[in-house]
Amino acid sequence: QVQLAESGGGLVQAGDSLRLSCAASGLTFANYAMGWYRQAPGKEREWVAAISSSMATYSADSVKGRFTISRDNAKNAVYLQMNSLKPENTAVYYCAAAPSWRAVLEFGLVAYWGQGTQVTVSS
């Protein structure tokens, strides 16, 4: 059974940093592209960042330069370093796994989802 478990969310002030983690189990982690999505109240879930099995990274324009995705295949983990957080970054952040980085970017092609972790940024 595949499980993706996010952690690291919390309440921070604008300008602060947070590092989200996602621990994966039940899948051959190194073979999967991984990514992060977020969903703010009343909005659709949106893609934030992706990392391929070969370590290539991709990020949405709205977070480029502030958020960095990385992975550690030895630990079956993917991370999202978030710097210079803004109130509009408040959302539930979800870890995602897909067969390719292109599939990570397509909501309907994500193979596995985590339960999400809440990030709240106060002004």
Q: What is the pLDDT of residues 13-44, one digit of tens each?
A: 999 999 999 999 999 999 999 999 999 999 99
Q: Say what the pLDDT of residue 8 is.
A: 98
Read off the DSSP letter of residue 89.
Answer: G
Per residue in 3-17, pLDDT (tens digit) is: 999 999 999 999 999
Tokens found for residue 52: 């391929």
DSSP string, 16-83: --EEEEEEEESS-GGGSEEEEEEE-TTS--EEEEEE-TT--EEE-TTTTTTEEEEEETTTTEEEEEE-
Q: Which DSSP helix (H) or strand (E) runs through 34?
A: strand 33-39
